[in-house]
Structure formats: structure tokens, C-alpha cells
Amino acid sequence: MPKVAGKSVSSRIQIIGCILGPTDDARRQMTDIVDSQTRSRMMAGIRGRNTKPELALRHSLHALGLRYRLYVKGVPGKPDIVLPKYHAVIFVHGCFWHRHAGCRYATVPATRPEFWTTKFDANVARDAAVESALLKAGWRVGTVWECALRTDTGIAKTRDIVAAWLHSGDAVLEVGEADVGTAPRPEPDPGSR
């Protein structure tokens, strides 16, 4: 029987697990704090493609007659949506993973903070570098946070905001649930009573 690279099957699986995914601890924590869609994306170690919010935004833009391309090669950061006619790209970012500032979904796990901080900082730094490279290359950059796309109202409002931005001359756009009016009212601070 041929030997498989001198390793037993179980140790190979362990090695593959180390390369591909987070530890069991991290996996358990993710189970506690993120929804299943975000979790499967995190497990896969890649940014989400064709996620439900992204598809919803794409379909609503298409219905407005706005024509886009997906993941165009040679464009920095492989944006989710590229609108060449408007020299614009759009990222649909998950609030937890990409750290939507001030968003209720950008929670910080209570355990192993250094593990998460390192990951979050790297994501934020990468997103900033990509945006800066795109702007330098003459692209306009839109960021739509997933929290804006959780309801039909949010999707319709986001579509209108994005459409208005495309026809404006503005270089950057950011849309979150606070911009589409679907965020809950902030709870009163118990300390202020």
C-alpha cells in the first residue's frame, strides 16, 4: 500500500485544519456571536461572494437599469460590483468582519480579545489600503454595509442612495442602516437617569 507523504490520514487532516481554519475555540466563539451565513464565510476564510444582501442589492440596481460587472480582474481589491460607466465600484461588507464603526452588529467577543483584535485590525487596514488604491486609480468607491440590506425597505432605500451617488460626482459613499432609517432607536443610557 502506498504511503501518503509519510503522514497518517488523521495527522494530514489536522494539518489541513490548521491551514484552512480557526481553532475549535474560535469556532465555538463564532457560533455564539455571528449568524450562520457570516460563520460559514469565516470558516471558509474568504470574503463572501454572492451573499444574500449582495444579491439583493445587485438585483435592485439591475431593476433600475444600472448595469454592472462582477469581480473585474485588474481592479484593486476585487470589488463585489463594478459599474464601469460610472467609474464606480461597490463593496458589500459584513458589519462584524469588516468592523462597521458604531454598528450594533460589529460586536467584540468577550473572550480571546487579542485573537479577534488582530484579525479585525488586519481587515480594516486591508480595506483602507484597497480603497486608497482604487481612488488613486480613478475609481469611485461605495461601501454598503450589510445592516442596510436586512429589510426590503432597507434594500430599496440603499438602491436609491446608490443610484443618486452614481449620478453625482462624489468619490466615496458609505451606506449603513442608520442611512436607510431601519436602525432601532438607541436605548437610553441607564447611567444618565
Q: Which residues bind Zn ion (CB under 5 A)?
A: 95, 100, 103, 145, 147, 176
Answer for the pair 3, 9: CB distance below 8 angstroms, yes or no: no
Q: Is the dihedral of CA 102, 42, 134, 83 positive or negative?
A: negative
Tell me whether residue 86 or residue 145 sits nearer to Zn ion (CB atom). Answer: 145
Q: How far is the CB of 48 from Zn ion (least distance, A)?
A: 14
Tell me whether residue 95 or residue 134 sits nearer to Zn ion (CB atom). Answer: 95
Tell me whether residue 86 or residue 116 sits nearer to Zn ion (CB atom). Answer: 116
Q: How far is the CB of 172 from Zn ion (least distance, A)?
A: 17
Q: How far is the CB of 140 from Zn ion (least distance, A)?
A: 21
Tell me whether residue 166 or residue 175 sits nearer to Zn ion (CB atom). Answer: 175
Q: How far is the CB of 178 from Zn ion (least distance, A)?
A: 8
